[in-house]
Amino acid sequence: MRPSQPLGLLTVMKKVQVLAVLLGVVVLVVYFMLLFSGPVTTTTSTAFPVVVTSWLGEYGVEGMQSDLPTLYVITPTYRRPEQIPELTRLGQTLMHVPKLHWLVADDATSVNQQVVDYLKSIGIPFTYFLTPMPQKYSRRWFGYLPKGVANRNGAMMWLRLRATEGVMYMADDDNTYDLRIFQEIRHTKKVSMFPVGLVTHTGLSTPVLRDGRWVGWFDGWISDRVFPVDMAGFAVSIPFFLSVPEAEMPYIAGYEETGFLNNLHVTIDDIEFLADNCTKIYVWHTHTQKSKASSREILDKKYDGTNLRQLQEVMVVN
Ligand code: UGA
Ligand code: MN
């Protein structure tokens, strides 16, 4: 029998390297299997959203009559102390926009009456949906969670059944909108794009144009995204949207926009660049600082029978 040779340091190192590479491959394969397994495929349908209230606004059908294409503004929202203030800012902007239907999709399983009452109070046509985020999508990838996706897909399901003309725009509840953005997108033929201010550390997300022609993208996170744009940076015409049945937004944090536009089979030739060849900023990706949990002092019995009980009704006391 041949005595076993002691392994040289080099051979051990090689084995360790091979093992490390193998381990890396296994980790990557498992990661991508999980990432792209059932729940995050781009075509999975959410449960049908519950349409809770649909209202044509103070002026009824007449208020919606005009030659303008209808603007469908989709706003995801969720219950928190800042919710009504956010909807107040956005709602009071939208009050100035003609021929608009506001699709407010709540990430909730039961009606938030405060929201419905507020929507009615401002008098514009709206539809309120219950579109809770399905539990299976609520796992985090590297700490990120896709936000507002069930809401947007729910509102888009409604559009597929009800809308025949017009333009849709995704307006998160916490951004800041100049009225001119609604004028700009109103006549979108297929897809329109424009700059968004205050996105990530670069402070801006926009298509890059040279001599009026598209040459690339400017965004803090290009990565492997085909369309590295912000949710507030594009609008889609309803006929174009309807021409691609079943196109949805994927539940992948960071890839919601590019995934949706890819599912719509958008090409660069389909895109109109607005806001004076993308030289103006008419929408800002703002954030509201989260307020601390309230002290709950308002719940003290000593305030029973006072106005604080009514005020409590219109607040989220947590
Ligand atoms: C950014 C993008 O602008 C979003 O469009 C995108 O969905 C999100 O990142 C993401 O990558 O997931 P960001 O400002 O970071 O948005 O997120 P939020 O403003 O907190 O949420 C986006 C929208 O979803 C808001 O309208 C918010 O009300 C809604 N949302 C958020 C829910 O409906 N449920 C939640 O649990 C959280
Ligand atoms: Mn936001």
Amino acid at 285: H
Which ligand is located closest to the Cα atom of residue 169?
A: 1
Whole-angstrom CA distances from 108 to 60, 77, 212 are 28, 9, 43
Contact 88, 95 (CB under 8 A): no
Closest residue by Cα to atom 3, ligand 1, is: 231
pLDDT of residue 295: 87
Mutate-to-test residue for ligand 1 from 137, 172, 248, highest number of ligand atoms within 8 A of CB = 172
Which positions are annotated as active-site residues?
A: 257
What are the phi and psi torsion angles at 315 (to 5°)? -125, 160
The Cα–Cα gap between 297 and 290 comes to: 19
Q: What is the pLDDT along the chain (318 residues), one digit of tens a residue?
A: 444 555 576 677 788 888 888 887 777 765 555 554 433 333 344 556 788 888 888 777 777 778 999 999 999 999 999 999 999 999 999 999 999 999 999 999 999 999 999 999 999 999 999 999 988 887 666 668 899 999 999 999 999 999 999 999 999 999 999 999 999 999 999 999 999 998 778 999 999 999 999 999 999 999 999 999 999 999 999 999 999 998 999 999 999 999 999 999 999 999 999 999 999 999 999 999 988 888 899 999 999 999 999 999 888 887
pLDDT of residue 29: 63
Contact 137, 251 (CB under 8 A): yes
User: Taking the model in full, what pTM does it have?
Assistant: 0.85
Amino acid at 128: Y
Measured in Å, residue 74 CA sits from the centre of ligand 1 at 12
Q: Which among 194, 179, 196, 198 is positioned nearest to 287, based on CA atoms?
A: 198
Mutate-to-test residue for ligand 1 from 144, 147, 169, highest number of ligand atoms within 8 A of CB = 147
What ranges in 78-193 are assigned the alpha helix state H?
Answer: 83-94, 113-122, 149-162, 179-185
Residues with Cβ within 6 A of ligand 1?
A: 76-78, 107, 146-148, 151, 172-174, 230-231, 253-254, 256, 287
pLDDT of residue 40: 36
The Cα–Cα gap between 225 and 259 comes to: 8
Please identify, by atom number, the ligand 1 atom nearest to the C-alpha of residue 231: 5
